Amino acid sequence: MSKLWGGRFTKETNQLVEEFTASISFDQQLAKEDIEGSMAHVTMLGECGIIPTEDAETIKKGLQTILAKVEKGEVQFQVEHEDIHMNIEKLLIDEIGPVGGKLHTGRSRNDQVATDMHLYLRHKTEEFIQLLTNVQKAFLQQASENVDTILPGYTHLQRAQPVSFGHHLMAYFWMFERDKERLQDSLKRVNMLPLGAGALAGTTFPINRERVAELLHFETVYPNSMDAVSDRDFILEFLSIASILMTHISRLSEELVIWSSQEFQFIELDDSFCTGSSIMPQKKNPDVPELLRAKTGRVYGNLIGLLTVLKGLPLAYNKDMQEDKEGMLDTVATLDGSLRLLAPMIETMQVNKDKMKRAVKEDYSNATDIADYLVTKGLPFREAHEVIGKIVLYSIQHKKFLLELKIEEYQQFSPLFEEDIYPILEPEHVVAARNSLGGTAPNQVRAQLKLAYEKLAK
Ligand code: ARG
């Protein structure tokens, strides 16, 4: 079977080369975008009188027939036609005859493939913004139910100061909000039209790029044809945003794994989101967060992979750039699966409020509050810190918690101590006292929830 570009060749392509250079096994995922781009291109060709209007109409009908077949899964793509662009062009010519050969007038696969990728990432970016919103809703719901749930807050994974569990969960809400903002902002650069750049230098035909941009709902056209066909920044940007997003998911996953361990028992993931062991009948494993944590690796890998592909490339198009696709498609699939799981897993998570409360009672995480108490009585903070350090050491040596020390014991360390120290040390008080803007006091958490609901309503 002869190639669409076969004219200057005297030999058939080596079979191994054909398989090695083909991208159809994966770029068939761009079939709809490829047809969408072609429809706009041929509309413009007809309108500008570059091809007869009847031909443009015939081609559009042909493309529609192919789209319907693609959607029904009736199309057999062929390795011998290398990629999605030539497969569809071949299907078109088979469908409507030689007039189908007019579709590729004034364009190249180089500006075509870039256009397909822009269209594809626009669709996916919009989907991910929606999926992230669903995840945020799950966090908002759990946070609203746990404003007054107190658990230890950690630094260095050592008990630091007690916090509201709602506050802790809302930290993730804001991370996902930034991810959404990054996606939203990236759309500016996704919504740029490369088509019309030709192979690299533009075209001899009197095309109208603005019209194609309008038909495809792009905000702008690339002002430089060489940049248009060489640019993969928008894919790098997507992979970077995805990497940061997966970092957030991975940190969350690590917390879920820790919290659901026998040692912590702060939460229990729903049975429907856990799996068992083939040998140990008692096991209920947090496989989902573990896999989410692990899948972060492949997303980082895809980013590094594409950065490396691009770093040494001269302008303009090089076949190397075909390697932009699998990493992107894999990242899209990974994000899609991860975000779809995350929302219901958080929604159905059981929170063990008693366990959390007990943990807070059995630690020294109220020590800062005793220091602050002495500061309000006039002692400089640095001196207060030293005094409380000694009190904590004394308590550890005497196997007591700070609430269990007698007032006489406190007074051995400073005459400033009085009975009013005790209510200050209760976990609820410790949390409520951190009422500074953005702090963990229930008042502040409620204000934060209000802000979050407003963000989502926009
Ligand atoms: N399959 C190619 C890719 O994904 C399409 C562009 C091919 N262009 C070319 N001049 N060989 O990059």
CATH of the domain at 252: 1.20.200.10
Distance CA 330, CA 334 (A): 6
Residue 445: predicted pLDDT: 98
Q: Residues 200-210, buried b or exposed e (16+ Cβ, 10 A)?
A: bebbeeebebe
How sure is the predictor about 275, in pLDDT bands with cuts at 50, 70 and 90? confident
In this structure, are 59 and 129 located in the same domain?
no
CB proximity list for 139: less than 8 A, separation 6 or greater: 169, 170, 172, 173, 176, 346
Q: Which atom of ligand 1 is nearest to the CA of 23?
A: 1
Residues 191 and 174 in one domain: yes
% of the chain beyond a pLDDT of 90: 94
Under a CB-based contact definition with an 8 Å cutoff, are residues 101 and 75 in contact? no
Q: Tell me the average pLDDT across 180-191.
A: 98
Q: Does residue 252 lie within any of the structural domains?
A: yes
pTM over 0.85: yes
pLDDT, mean over the chain? 96
Contact 431, 119 (CB under 8 A): no
Same domain for 322 and 427? no
Question: How far, CA to CA in Å, does 78 sit from each of 28, 69, 106, 427, 454?
Answer: 10, 15, 25, 67, 50
Tell me: pLDDT of 115 over 60: yes
CA of 84 from ligand 1 middle (Å) equals: 10
Q: How far is the CA of 83 from the centre of ligand 1 (A)?
A: 8
State mean pLDDT over 424-447: 96
Q: Using pLDDT thresholds of 50, 70 and 90, give the confidence band for residue 259.
A: very high
Pocket of ligand 1 (CB under 6 A): 23, 27, 83, 109-110, 113, 317, 319, 321-322
Q: Which domain holds residue 414?
A: 359-441
**Cβ atoms 287, 258 nearer than 8 A:** no
pLDDT at 420 > cutoff 60 = yes
pLDDT tens digits for 28-81?
Answer: 999 999 999 999 999 999 999 999 999 999 999 999 999 999 999 999 999 999
Q: Residue 246 Cα, ligand 1 centroid: separation in angstroms?
A: 30
Question: Does residue 199 register a pLDDT over 80?
Answer: yes
Least confident of 104-108, 158-162, 272-276: 272-276
pLDDT of residue 103 exceeding 60, the answer is yes
Q: Which of 25, 261, 277, 398 is catalytic?
A: 277
* Active-site entry in 156, 272, 278, 436: 156
pLDDT (0 to 100) of residue 181: 98
3-state helix, strand, coil in the chain (%, to 5): 65, 5, 30
Domain finish residue from 326, 353, 380: 353
Query: Using CA positions, which residue lies closest to atom 12 of ligand 1?
Result: 322
Convert the pLDDT of each residue in 225-247 to its tens digit: 999 999 999 999 999 999 999 99
Domain assignment present for 7 = no
pLDDT of residue 4: 81
Same-domain check for residues 200 and 346: yes
Annotation marks residue 277 as catalytic: yes
Q: Is 118 a catalytic residue?
A: no
**Nearest Cα residue to 70 out of 33, 37, 96:** 33
**Residue range 388-407: mean pLDDT, rounded:** 95
* Ligand 1 atom nearest 83 alpha carbon: 1
pLDDT the model gives residue 452: 98
C-alpha 309 – ligand 1 centre gap (Å): 15
Ligand 1 atom with minimal separation from the 27 CA:
4
Mean pLDDT of all residues in 412-424: 95
Is residue 322 domain-shared with residue 432, that is, in the same domain?
no
pLDDT at 281: 82
Instruction: Quickly state the pLDDT bin for 141 (edges 50, 70, 90).
Output: very high
Atom 2 of ligand 1, residue of closest alpha carbon: 322
Q: Whose CA is nearest to atom 4 of ligand 1?
A: 322
Query: With 70 as the cut, is the pLDDT of residue 1 above it?
Result: no
pLDDT at residue 2, rounded to an integer: 74
DSSP 171-237: HHHHHHHHHHHHHHHHHHHHSEE-TT-TTTT--SS---HHHHHHHTT-SEE-S-HHHHHH--HHHHH
Look at residue 162 and tell me if it is in a domain. yes
* In a domain? residue 380: yes
Helix or strand or coil: residue 361? helix
CA distances from 135 to 148, 154, 316, 349, 350 (A): 22, 24, 40, 13, 17
**Domain of residue 387, CATH code:** 1.10.40.30
**What sign does the dihedral 259-264-270-271 (CA atoms) show?**
positive
Average pLDDT over residues 347-371: 94
